[in-house]
Structure 1
Amino acid sequence: MRLLAPILVFAVLSQSCSEYQKVLKNEDVKAKYDMAQKFYEEGDMKRANRLFEQIAPKYIGKPQGERVMFFLADTYFKRKDFNMAGYQFERFVKSYPKSEKVVEASFFGAKSYFELSPNYSLDQTDTDKALIKLQNFINAYPDSEYFDEANAMAKELTRKKEKKAFEIAKQFNKLGKFDFTFLTPAVAAFDNFISDFPGSIYREEAMFYRFESASHYALNSFEVLQKPRLAVAKEHYAALKKQFPETKFMEEADKLLEKVNEELEGFSPQGEAK
């Protein structure tokens, strides 16, 4: 009796596989449609996807075409083939702009691109694409049930781009300790970061490192170029203190400012007279 259950399960599975193979190979589109829908409802996305792929071209322009195209896109998404899911959901939206499923398709199309976004340290082309798709969805469907999730995903991607930009600027700053020519792009990168991400959690650090980069750049410059560069460094210090009066970098910033001021004293009228 204990062996009976596994044998029955095996027999059912074998019959199911046999039926699937038979329907897969024949030309009966209706049979393929029925079986694809059955597998979809059972959660067997691999076999449902293969059948929907076969019949989708046959249903173009037909009443069932809308349903088939949506299920095809959804099976790709559920199988985590996000490249194809994004493409198919976009096709669905273009083909059936008045469909009841257009909001859902637009959301999951955008989410497909979100899933393709890589780690912040890698190229962020897919992140940029996902942000555009999500922002388009948020703008188009502010009352959608998916609005909050779309907004959360957009914020996550923005934080990823934030971190990427911040780490690039920090890398220039770090390299500048060995080769001061890297400090010019460091200051520019921090300038861009502060401008592009005004509410960033890294803002205080960015403002300090901008001051640090500008200071070291000025202190390592030729004497004829030092004075205006030292003045710019002081402006960055003032900006840091204005926005973060109790900055956690207070001690480091003040010590660095002393060096900047010492150098500037040499350009005073008395110093120049010497």
Structure 2
Amino acid sequence: MFFKMRRFIPVVFVAMAFYSCSEYQKVLKNEDVKAKYDMAQKFYEEQDFKRSNRLFEQIAPKYVGKPQGERVMFFLANSYFQRKDYNMAGYQFERFIKSYPKSEKAPQASFLVAKSYFKLSPTYSLDQTDTDKALTKLQSFINAYPNSEYFAEANMMAKELTTKKERKSYEIAKQFNKIGEFDYTFLTPSIAAFDNFISDNPGSIYREDALFYKFDSATRLALNSFDALKPARLKDAKEAYAALKKQYPETEYEKQAKDLLEKIEKELLRFSPNTEAK
């Protein structure tokens, strides 16, 4: 009897799944808006966001201006989000906020707009348009809803995106530094890029690295310059070293920095008055 029951149970589940699918297709194709609404809500509550999304798509225009319209539009937007269709989710949540600015769901919708763009933000090496959009939306949410339950998460996301943008700027400057090993003309834009980075990102986790590689670029530029330009550029390099040590007295680049400084001091001896007299 037990083995017969074991064989029977899968058959029951298959039959139920077939019936559910059949009912879904039937409701999907008919014109009964109420039936679509009821089934869409049922699937949504069961977290079957694929099928609920399709039904909400069909009925959303029918509920514009009606009491259920707010609920339908929010569920439609969130079903896109749950399906990881973040482009459509962001678009639909923004529509929801414009249509229902005083809704109790408006703070959550505002947060999910920002989170949709956050999810679309690519790796640091790619175009950061969606990152900029996400930061703008997150800042708007943070300013508008400082007491929201999503406030802490929004701040963490903003910090992560800010760090990503900082890394992109830092890596661009470092790329100039790397190319400068083979073509010294790239060391000037490297120094300028690091200067901009240091100025624009005072609290960055890459600040120490940027200060060191600015010093590295300045040193190599000075050492490979014509004699007429060397004294001034060696002085600039020493100032870059001083800036690194002032902000990071125990820098992780201590050994490399001292090695570079020794080269600077040795080269400066060539231009000292005592050396020339001898």
Find the counterpart in structure 2 of residue 43 from structure 1: 47
Q: What's the RMSD between the two structures over aligned residues?
A: 1.6
Find the counterpart in structure 2 of residue 193 from structure 1: 197
Equivalent residue in structure 2 for 1:233, among 197, 220, 237: 237
Find the counterpart in structure 2 of residue 92 from structure 1: 96
- Counterparts of 2:145 and 2:53, CA distance in 1: 28
Note the C-alpha offset of 1:262: 3.0
Tell me the TM-score normalised to structure 1 length: 0.95
SS at match of 1:177: coil
Within the alignment, does 1:66 sit opposite 2:70 as a pair?
A: yes
Deviation larger for 70-79 or 251-260: 251-260
- Counterparts of 2:221 and 2:20, CA distance in 1: 72
Q: After superposition, give the CA deviation of every residue in 1:45-95 in whole Å (9 maximum; x if it has no partner).
A: 000000000111111122111111100000000011111101111111111
Q: Which amino acid aligns with 2:147?
A: D
- Counterparts of 2:93 and 2:276, CA distance in 1: 71
Within the alignment, does 1:133 sit opposite 2:133 as a pair?
A: no
1:144-223 to structure 2, matched below 5 A, reads: 144-223=148-227
Note the C-alpha offset of 1:258: 2.4
Note the C-alpha offset of 1:5: 1.3
- Counterparts of 1:250 and 1:78, CA distance in 2: 49
Q: Percent identity?
A: 74
Note the C-alpha offset of 1:207: 0.7
Find the counterpart in structure 1 of residue 83 from structure 2: 79
Q: Which amino acid aligns with 1:267?
A: F
- Counterparts of 1:248 and 1:34, CA distance in 2: 63
Find the counterpart in structure 2 of residue 117 from structure 1: 121
Note the C-alpha offset of 1:269: 4.0
Deviation larger for 116-125 or 258-267: 258-267
* 4+ residue runs over 6 A deviation: none
- Counterparts of 2:126 and 2:162, CA distance in 1: 15
Tell me the TM-score normalised to structure 2 length: 0.93
Note the C-alpha offset of 1:264: 2.9
Q: Which amino acid aligns with 1:146?
A: Y
- Counterparts of 2:100 and 2:139, CA distance in 1: 21
- Counterparts of 1:242 and 1:271, CA distance in 2: 30
Ranges in structure 2 where 5+ consecutive residues have no aligned partner: none
- Counterparts of 1:81 and 1:18, CA distance in 2: 26
Within the alignment, does 1:107 sit opposite 2:107 as a pair?
A: no
Aligned length: 274
Note the C-alpha offset of 1:219: 1.4
SS at match of 1:86: helix
Equivalent residue in structure 1 for 2:253, among 246, 249, 254: 249
Find the counterpart in structure 1 of residue 18 from structure 2: 14
Ranges in structure 1 where 5+ consecutive residues have no aligned partner: none
- Counterparts of 1:144 and 1:257, CA distance in 2: 52
